[in-house]
Amino acid sequence: VDPTLDLVAEINKLKKEKNAVILAHYYQESEIQDIADYIGDSLGLSQQAAETDADIIVFAGVHFMAETAKMLSPSKKVLLPDLKAGCSLADSCPAPVFRKFKEKYPDHKVVSYINCTAELKTLTDVCCTSTNAKHIIDSFPPEQKLIFAPDVNLGRWLVKETGRDMVLWNGSCMVHEIFSHEKITKLRIKHPDAAFIAHPECEAHILDIADHVGSTSSLLRFTRESDYQEFIVATEPGIIHQMVKESPDKVFIPAPPNNACACNECPHMKRNTMEKLYLCMKHELPEIHLPEWVIEQGVASIDRMLEISA
Ligand code: 13P
Ligand code: SF4
């Protein structure tokens, strides 16, 4: 790409010309969030993908999110700036292995976190996101036995919050499982008036010490609405861009990871760049394609989630 090109202007031009909509997750780099038509959490993004009138959905997020958009709007062209933008959580639950696991529990229904492959959604009764997970689980009668996949940390938190014993798949998110309890505790001593807020994909010992636990949109709302002026934030730091925009006078400190060399940026989310976004809109590639049977059998679990959370 010509380095003198005004990418913001070019992307805006392509958006109009092609009747395209850019949907971006809060973990995207700031410039991508600023050019998006809609920024949100996984639930909001899937609701937008289901409702949009655009001809092309450009998904500034990761592969499972673009797949979900394709399942909800199969006649539309769905683009992802980098097809390698995957997800460690989705990868931790391969559908053929899960199918065997599920056979051991014939009287269980399956609730899957939306962070899973399209194929896993074909083995799922209802999807959920961090925003609606409690509500989705509570929608089953108490006697109904449940399997929850793929995030064991979110699963354990839900077992605690809903008081419901579920069979848990042992998957995890590479970003949220590396926060350091010790370093967070030291940071809290230095900042005694700060609220410690965490995403439920974090491990239990981190969630146990949090003042507020919730999805990205819930964390964002908490920073906007609570009286705290300072926050230690245990999730992917991309969301801090929106937190600062909404509360410019408040202070946000990213929670530290356990290894000094590690960082809590999601390497998958951060594969998308403004250049890749521009090229993908210009060439209408890479595009998401899914086998028809996957769309047909998988979409019911997302539709059911959207119905319950409407
Ligand atoms: P939410 O934005 O729905 O909280 O999901 C977080 C996440 O890890 C997305 O990959
Ligand atoms: Fe997947 Fe974790 Fe990255 Fe979200 S932050 S896309 S769950 S690896």
Q: Is residue 259 part of a domain?
A: no
Q: What is the helix (H) or strand (E) element at residue 39, kind and residue range?
A: strand 38-40
Q: Calculate mean pLDDT across residues 84-100.
A: 98
pLDDT value, residue 260: 78
pLDDT value, residue 79: 98
Q: Is residue 107 part of a domain?
A: yes
Q: Is residue 78 part of a domain?
A: yes
What does the alpha-carbon distance between residue 214 and residue 191 come to, in Å, rounded to a whole number?
21
Same structural domain for residues 66 and 116? no
In percent, the amount of the chain with pLDDT more than 90 equals 97
Same structural domain for residues 95 and 168? yes
- Ligand 2 centroid from CA 83, angstroms: 15
Q: Whose CA is nearest to atom 10 of ligand 1?
A: 115
What does the alpha-carbon distance between residue 275 and residue 278 come to, in Å, rounded to a whole number?
5
Same structural domain for residues 30 and 20? yes
pLDDT value, residue 263: 87
- Tell me the backbone φ, ψ of residue 196, rounded to 5 degrees: -100, 120
Domain count, the chain: 3
Same structural domain for residues 151 and 111? yes
What does the alpha-carbon distance between residue 115 and residue 137 come to, in Å, rounded to a whole number?
16
What does the alpha-carbon distance between residue 26 and residue 79 come to, in Å, rounded to a whole number?
18
pLDDT at residue 229 tops 80: yes
Q: Calculate mean pLDDT across residues 263-270.
A: 95
Same structural domain for residues 198 and 219? yes
Whether residue 130 is annotated as binding a ligand: the answer is: yes
Q: Is residue 264 part of a domain?
A: no
Whether residue 201 is annotated as binding a ligand: the answer is: yes
- Tell me the backbone φ, ψ of residue 272, rounded to 5 degrees: -75, 135
**What confidence tens digit (pLDDT) does each residue in 93-125 have?**
999 999 999 999 999 999 999 999 999 999 999
Same structural domain for residues 78 and 13? yes
Angle CA(214)–CA(112)–CA(126) in degrees, nearest 5?
Answer: 105
Q: Calculate mean pLDDT across residues 262-291.
A: 97
**What confidence tens digit (pLDDT) does each residue in 111-170 have?**
999 999 999 999 999 999 999 999 999 999 999 999 999 999 999 999 999 999 999 999
202 lines ligand 2 (CB under 6 A): no
**Could you identify the atom of ligand 2 that is nearest to the CA of residue 115?**
7
162 lines ligand 1 (CB under 6 A): no
pLDDT value, residue 224: 98
Same structural domain for residues 302 and 157? yes
172 alpha carbon, closest ligand: 2
81 prior amide bond cis, ω within 30: no
Same structural domain for residues 158 and 197? no
Same structural domain for residues 93 and 167? yes
211, 65, 209: which is closest to 129 by C-alpha? 65
Q: Residue 226: give its domain's CATH number.
A: 3.40.50.10800
What does the alpha-carbon distance between residue 255 and residue 201 come to, in Å, rounded to a whole number?
14
Probe target for ligand 1 pocket from 62, 215, 271, 305, with the most ligand atoms within 8 Å of CB: 215
pLDDT band at 1 (very low <50, low <70, confident <90, very high): confident
Probe target for ligand 2 pocket from 27, 64, 120, 173, with the most ligand atoms within 8 Å of CB: 173
**Which domain range does residue 191 map to?**
176-254
268 alpha carbon, closest ligand: 2
93 lines ligand 2 (CB under 6 A): no
Same structural domain for residues 22 and 11? yes
Q: How far is CA 276 from each of CA 11, 13, 98, rounded to the nearest angstrom?
A: 11, 16, 33
pLDDT at residue 259 tops 90: no
Q: What is the helix (H) or strand (E) element at residue 57, kind and residue range?
A: strand 56-60
pLDDT band at 261 (very low <50, low <70, confident <90, very high): confident
pLDDT value, residue 46: 94
286 prior amide bond cis, ω within 30: yes
Average pLDDT, the chain: 97
Q: Is residue 246 part of a domain?
A: yes
Q: Is residue 130 part of a domain?
A: yes
List of residues 6+ apart from 190 with CB closer than 8 A: none
List of residues 6+ apart from 283 with CB closer than 8 A: none
Whether residue 108 is annotated as binding a ligand: the answer is: no
Q: Calculate mean pLDDT across residues 64-71.
A: 97
Better-predicted residue by pLDDT, 309 or 203: 203
pLDDT at residue 14 tops 90: yes
Q: Is residue 1 part of a domain?
A: no
Tell me the pTM: 0.97
What three-state secondary structure class fits 20?
Answer: strand
Same structural domain for residues 55 and 104? no
Same structural domain for residues 303 and 161? yes
Q: Calculate mean pLDDT across residues 201-205.
A: 98
Q: Is residue 117 part of a domain?
A: yes
pLDDT value, residue 262: 81
